[in-house]
Amino acid sequence: MINDSRVSVVSGGGTGIGREVARTLAGDGDRVVVIGRRAGLLERAAEEINRELGARRVIPVAADLTDPAQVRRAADRIAELGTVGVLVNNAGAIITPSAGEGLEALADAWRRDLDTNLITAVLLTNALLGRLSRPGGRLILVSSAAAQRGGAGAHSAGSYAAAKAALHGWAFGLARQLGPDGITVNVLAPGYIRDTDIFDGQDTPEFVAAKVADTLVGRTGTPADVAAAVRYLASPDAGYLTGQIIGLNGGAVLGR
């Protein structure tokens, strides 16, 4: 072990929401492993945060989390750091099937969406399950408001909403399984969050305006909004909060 500070793991930690979550947890003193497929990008993100903090707290581990062998290798690397206090399953993407290409293309797009948004979390969680802190471990899954209200705009195909919704049922079972060990399991379901790569340029001013109009607070969400919620869920103060789907959407989805 390098030192005895808490180890947090953030999948998709090289960009957008995950990067800000990593920055926040590292700023609080955690050693944070960030995982993603693009090694160069991850290394740059880690370097920038470490430089800002003046300490080497963010550790890049490149892996495609849809691939069991790569997940196993990442988990072995993480094991060298010690017990995992916090696992934030944040990696995800919107897979858009091309219209009119038949059932084969549709099946392929749905499978890729399930792989990217669900299987990544299932594999990483299971690879690290035995290494989570007991008691006190924190498992956080990043879903989407799309899971609660259906896909729209850039993710109107429905596979993204369906893949994210699958996280919810799985999380309930995990919360029941891990509660006796003192591990909490919660799902964060953000609405539109700006300054991320997920919309790949499809978040036009009209799209963003429609998202803002959906909210009760009249603004977009930010990666910092999500990071603040993760910070709380990951804290000792949140020990009585488990098995919940938490909407972080400016009121765009009410009461679920």
Ligand X SMILES: NC(=O)c1ccc[n+]([C@@H]2O[C@H](COP(=O)([O-])OP(=O)(O)OC[C@H]3O[C@@H](n4cnc5c(N)ncnc54)[C@H](OP(=O)(O)O)[C@@H]3O)[C@@H](O)[C@H]2O)c1
Which residues form the interface with ligand X (CB under 6 A)?
11-12, 14-18, 35-38, 41, 64-66, 90-93, 116, 120, 142, 144, 190, 192-193, 196-198
CB of 42 to ligand X, least distance (A): 7
CB of 1 to ligand X, least distance (A): 25
Of 129 and 229, which CB lies nearer to ligand X in the complex structure?
229
CA distance to 17, 19, 62, per residue, from 195 (Å):
8, 11, 22
Contact indicator for 146, 193 with CB cutoff of 8 Å: no
CB of 148 to ligand X, least distance (A): 11
Of 26 and 91, which CB lies nearer to ligand X in the complex structure?
91
Of 14 and 85, which CB lies nearer to ligand X in the complex structure?
14
What burial class does residue 79 get, using C-beta atoms within 10 Å of its C-beta: 0-12 exposed, 13-18 middle, 19+ buried? middle
160 among known catalytic residues: yes
Q: Give the span between the Cα atoms of 80 and 84, in whole angstroms.
A: 10
Q: Which residues contact 177 (CB under 8 A, 6 or more apart)?
A: none
Q: Give the span between the Cα atoms of 138 and 236, in whole angstroms.
A: 9
Of 41 and 228, which CB lies nearer to ligand X in the complex structure?
41
Structure tokens at 234: 């990951």
- In degrees rounded to 5, what are phi and psi of residue 239? -65, -20
CB of 182 to ligand X, least distance (A): 26
Contact indicator for 87, 65 with CB cutoff of 8 Å: no
Residues labelled as active-site residues:
160
